[in-house]
Structure 1
């Protein structure tokens, strides 16, 4: 598994969100508190952030552990942003993709991360390859399950689906093709956050500074709220909406009736 985090709100240094809190994403790379699968997130990390009026985010990704990168420590101290997505990658099988396998993946204004694993990859998702244009398959950044899931999400976004619908439909499609998969997906466009819970933990925190959505709390603030499993989360800087996800075998509609917004 991995750990990831997205933020929308007042402009902050990267470090205030990613390295300074007592249980920050930085610390979660070797001492996560709620991780259910795997223990050390040392096979790469990445952060994507939005700057000024440019809708396309910048990214900084590396193949090694976050604690070994002194350049990132400097960046985190001085770079400021009002929106970001960051992730640390669980130790996994050896591969040739290096930092290309580290989230966040990106296209246009979108940043994406997958916390989980596709059961039976790659054979389990082979039946889904015809749903993607050949150019999208050839353009995949890495040859792993997360990159393929991102290609499925991106195809829906480019077809006109909104972020929440694209995540929900992709999670249900992959869960049906590969039962037992863990599919905590996280997506932002710099203005909103969408996420799914499917097999692992997710929490959110709203405050006067903004909204944080993360695999686990980075401190002991009692305002953190845990998201139930099989849930779609949609967030802005001030509001969070939770919607239960139906099982793949349920009716054609991917989403159950909405709950009231949580603030």
Structure 2
């Protein structure tokens, strides 16, 4: 499991989003309050941000060390500014790699992605899904982890042209059809919108004064936070957020085959 956060709004120092607020993402690495699985997030961290400019793609800074153990972070977060950020601290699923490449956010074009969740027997998931992955796709995984595998399933849909909300909901429901115990809080951004799911762990959002934050845990005593119900989808921009139920989990025997067959 992990803790993650996405922000859209006026450009701000990254420190104001990630390290200095009460119960910040930084603090959640060692003292989460709502986390369902795991008690500490010390298996790496990552920050993705979009520099100024409409066409500027994301830049990532990822480490395999605990976020509090990086001596460069205070200087970077105080210096860098952005109006679109996605960041995460990691608690690794057993059997996954611990290298830097396994830390979210994962990236493709303008997309940034994080998974707060856990999939049991994730190594066998490709064989159980109704959309077999090719050897080339599996060998090209960004890391040996359940997060990287979910990102592959999602990225191939985005490349095929599926809207973000449709793609995210489809991946969650198809994985749950074969792994009912999975916890799947997905967080996706293109720097202009945020799409997220809550299934199995905590998620909150705040849309106030042209600023949107979607996060695993809210900032205490800050007004305007709303808890997302379980098995729900969030689609949001800087000014508004819409929360809807995720589709029912399909029966594995009757689930239609996915039409998305592109590769990221």
TM-score by length of 1: 0.91
> What is the number of residues matched between the two proteins?
253
Is this contact kept in 1: 2:93–2:118, CA < 8 A? Answer: no
Cα gap change, 1:171 to 1:240, in 2 (>3 Å): same
Compare 117-126 and 42-51 and name the one that shifted more: 117-126
1:52 aligned to 2:52?
yes
Partner of 2:129: 128
1:240 aligned to 2:235?
no
1:41 aligned to 2:47?
no
Partner of 1:9: 9
Deviation for aligned residue 1:95: 5.2
Deviation for aligned residue 1:74: 0.8
For residue 27 of structure 1, give the secondary structure of its aligned residue in structure 2: helix
CA deviation map 1:34-54 (0-9, x unaligned)? 111111000000000000224
- Looking at structure 2, the residues matched to 177 and 55 of structure 1 have their Cα atoms a distance apart, in angstroms, of 38
For residue 194 of structure 1, give the secondary structure of its aligned residue in structure 2: strand
CA deviation map 1:98-126 (0-9, x unaligned)? 11110000010000000010122222442
Over aligned residue pairs, what C-alpha RMSD do you find?
A: 1.9
For residue 122 of structure 2, give the secondary structure of its aligned residue in structure 1: coil
Cα gap change, 1:111 to 1:168, in 2 (>3 Å): same
Deviation for aligned residue 1:56: 1.7
CA deviation map 1:17-48 (0-9, x unaligned)? 00010100000000111111111000000000
TM-score by length of 2: 0.91
Gaps of 5+ in 1: 254-263
Is this contact kept in 2: 1:13–1:80, CA < 8 A? Answer: yes
1:28 aligned to 2:38?
no
Partner of 2:259: none
Partner of 1:116: 117
Gaps of 5+ in 2: 257-264
Compare 124-133 and 176-185 and name the one that shifted more: 124-133
Compare 237-246 and 134-143 and name the one that shifted more: 134-143
